[in-house]
A and B are shown apart, each in its own frame.
Chain A
Amino acid sequence: MSSPLWQVRLLVVLTAVLGVNYVIWRWFFSVNWPAWWIAVPLVVAETYSVIDSLLFGMTMWRAKRRPAPPDAPPDATVDVFITTYNEPLDLVQRTALAAAEIRHPHRTWILDDGNRPELAAWAEQHGIGCLHRTADWVDRPRHAKAGNINNALMATDGEFILILDADQVPTPEILDRVLGYFDDPRMALVQTPQYFVNVDDADVLGSQAPLFYGPIQQGKDGWNAAFFCGSNAVVRREALMQLGVSRYADELERSVRTALRTARRIVGRARSGVEESDASLRTLLDSIDYDARRALNALDRGEAVADVTFRFGQRLRDAEREVARSDARLLADDLAAIAALEDGLSTDGVDAVDVEVLAATLERDWSAAGALSSVRRLVDAVDVSRLDEAQPVMPLATISVTEDMATAMRLHGMGWRTAYHHEVLAHGLAPEDMASMLTQRLRWAQGTVQVMFRENPLVQRGLSWPQRLMYFATMWSYLSGFAAIVYIGAPVVYLILGVLPVQALSSDFFIRLVPFLVVNQLLFFVVGRGVRTWRGQQYSLALFPVWIKAFTSAFGNVFRGRALDFAVTPKVVTPTEGRPRWDLIKPQLVAMGLLVAALVIGGVRLGVGQAQLLGTALNVVWVVFDLVILSIIIRAARYRGSSSVEERTPA
């Protein structure tokens, strides 16, 4: 059975004391400053790891094993959503049939973003609902899965929503087991584990996440920060809708202000291009500027946004009519410009059309009539109706490709609670080949880093400090890619060049480092309660190129508006003629090559008396450890998938 909390806490305290002691000693007493180019990266990486273990310790401090919840209220109304885009029909159908068999009264819906007529026909035959995007979504940002669910929320009316990925086959008792948590009126969401049936004991691709769907989620739950993971979760509609409505209200005022300020700039520029003689046009532009300024003042005074934009919109329309009357010839010139503008409005992709971006597109040097039209478009786009979005209210967050984390964080910020229910109630399919696995991990990491950049949890008002740190801990863990490079590079540098990043390999060094490493591993072992955490540890290092790419691509996306190369995780193998995809793991292969070369060169250097025995031995152990960790990626590349999916999956 589980270890008592006092044992865990004792280990947490020991790890923290030893880790902090070590890292302080490293910074102040042992950095080999002359070799700063390797010494500083190493001490930074070590500091990173110690902070990581402190955050892990905090997560474990209040690990919560919830007692069974109260019985499900029999009259609770539930919609079951099965989200799909391009998964094979039989996969979706199997999940849908199982969902229909869930015992608690409910309605089952397939949310088919792929608009497949044959799936709709099949669903109708089986009395299962099938929902597609409404016409409002045409030419507007689709927001992937979050958009799909937001669309379905508007077409259904159950008090609770069970969200399932297309491959997650639910058990009949899933709702009976979790609805009871919602007796707490502030409970917004209950997450259950994601468990995969097509994974054997070796779990070469590291698909099961027993540490996450266990101690880590229970730990976050202890601080009321259990994560929403996108599938196998029940959500309270009221919480989602309240979130959507309040986001709408907050974002609207901000975008309207930006739009009005931009409008003034556009008009001002257009006015400077109008000739003296054209007095009527100048008067007109002046009056628009005056109206925009008045609208901004009205917002400052606290007038309702809808009233302000309504008034401003009417004034604009009057002005446009006047321009059309007085100066029809200019209009033709601007048609092309307006058409270009429409393109800007219909930007598709996972990212919200940012009013700032839109404003930048609009700020071109146009003639007066063009200026008027672009002001009109700009104000329309952020008018109370949010014409730039398919629906004004977006309950599920759309700021990230992993909508789940951002949504839960916002719910927590509004004072809602979440729970983690530690019992497998759905059986899913993990990626069956390394290429899909890499795509999936990249997407998760990108999504997490996007949230960190867009809504950094450390500065979110409404979150308690432990909640902020629980979200931050997950984001922090994705920085491990940079540390991995240092951990691979440092022993290579020593063995090849003889440069030591620490001042001396004294007993001081070992006395401080070894106990920390031992206690840290012991903590993992104790909280892991016998589940295998080694695979996870391997991948956190071995996927270093993925984590780094996630970081750089999310940075480019958030701060420079670049695309993320978003991809849906394939659920089924597409056989690539059985050849391992070595091309996908080049950085790891290069790293392993360097490590092996370092072993050889280090041996030669020792043999010819150019290197010390202790230093060489220590770094050889380090290199071998790195190689053992990285070796998993070779096994992953050669992995051919688990053959017996059909037999293993419960019908």
Chain B
Amino acid sequence: MKIEQTVQTTPQAALEITDLGVAYESTWVLDHIDLTVKQGEFIGIIGPNGAGKSTLLKTLAGLIRPSRGEIRFPAARGRRHPVGYVPQRFDLDPDLPLRARDLVGLGLDGHRWGFAWPNAQRGRKIEQALAQVDLTGFADHPAGKLSGGQLQRVLIAQALVSDPELLLLDEPLSSLDLASAQTVVDVVHRVSQNLGVTVLLVTHDMNPLLPVMDRLIYVVNGQAVIGTVDQVVQKDVLDKLYGYDVEVLRLHGRILVVGDETASGDAAGFEHR
């Protein structure tokens, strides 16, 4: 009894990464990553294109085997799949014979053998997950005819329905208009608060996350730094990470990192369109 109480009062780590390295052939895409994420934290994984953000997320999701180091989910207490993974959005055929509820259902029991016969309890769980992403009433909507933002939220519901400890999202804001991207950020933020889910969200633009994220992991050239925005998005920290001079500009509450040549000006909120 006493032991359980101590466990509850000390905030446990949701994720511990020690000396993580991922190599493709002989190139280290990620190297010497050490970081700890607390339970319930909202973490943005930020960095220029090709920096290793998605590789880091996929390694955490179990899609890529680390070449070195260790990944642990201490709060999951040995649960086999403590992670809900939201892949990069893909286009679906408008004729696809799937409704939103079928996509979410695959997150619930798609790994089981045999057929999924409809039953009330399963249906309730699916509708609950859809309600959590503000898509009540969309259960029977054809999956191929959802808008980009709606499909993204269905995929989040698909990951949430299995009750994960951690929610991993790969570029959920890419190719969404500003309003849809904001809706996705709000939904993920609310879910992390209401359900206590730890969130790791990959994006190349940190600005939509500024009001909601607790800390960020800044990834450049396979190296990563974790901390609050004020700790990490500083000239001296980023100069060291990039290996050359960058400028950090704060304009009207937005942050721009300038001088990031690897992403041709597209990184971390510097929009060139």
Does A pair with B?
Answer: no
Residue numbers of A with Cβ under 8 A of B are: none
